[in-house]
Structure 1
Amino acid sequence: MSKYPVSPQEVDISAVRAQGAGGQNVNKVSSAIHLRFVIRDSTLPEHIKERLLALQDQRLSKDGVLIIKAQQYRTQEQNRQDALQRLQQLVDSVSHEQKARRASKPSYGARQRRMDSKSLRGKVKSLRGPVRD
């Protein structure tokens, strides 16, 4: 269950014709779905809205409208579910709080192992030179 569920009333869903191969069915049936989600008008918390608007995503317009096109499935209902699920996954991805990184230092043993491996590597390379008598 999502922490911030998107209400179906907040999205504008329209059926369009799908692209690509599919023959006669693609030419006459509108099974693809265009989902439009206006981020600023949604009931999501402000910090989630800000993160969504800050995304560098080609599906996000300059007006703050997220447009998702779903045309993977043959039926309109499956494409509608797919589009809603992809929108929810996007909201869930920005709602996850990143932990602040704490700077740390390598331990004494780790520094010793690093220096030992470097000196060993230097010895191997010194043996590659020309042979001296």
Structure 2
Amino acid sequence: MSKTVFLINGPNLNLLGKREPEIYGADTLDDVTARCAALADAHGLRLEAMQSNSEGALVDIIHKARDAAAAIVINPGAYSHTSIAILDALQAYEGVVIEVHISNIHKREAFRHHSFVSQRADGIVIGMGVEGYELAMRRVVSVLT
């Protein structure tokens, strides 16, 4: 049985390719997911991708991961900077957690410089564009295989 990786995306990431392309690029979330799924498949892993604009739904997905996923790759979007609930859910998860930010949050507004999720993350990819998802997946592959 292959190990499952949850790819979790937070608010507004469903608008990738449409929203502020000068910051987030032209690739869509479907493009990103397809590349991550191909990488997972090539290494005997299974990718399950989810996106929600709702903090509670993201917490529920993380709870589901406790029994269903060996790793989480998460871009919590703006909830990175505000959600103790997402941090608490991740603290209750025992698998690998890699946090992804498409833009360099440290070169943006001051309120974006802190991420609660980083306190739990085993690794963080920041400012590498959507390629950061693939870098995160490569780390997951190296840990799980």
The answer, yes or no, to whether TM exceeds 0.5 is: no
Q: Which structure shows the bigger proportion of residues in helix conformation?
A: 2
- Structure showing greater relative contact order (alpha-carbon pairs closer than 8 Å, 6 or more residues apart): 2
| TM-score between the two structures when normalised by the length of structure 1 | 0.27
If the length of structure 2 is used for normalisation, what is the TM-score? 0.26
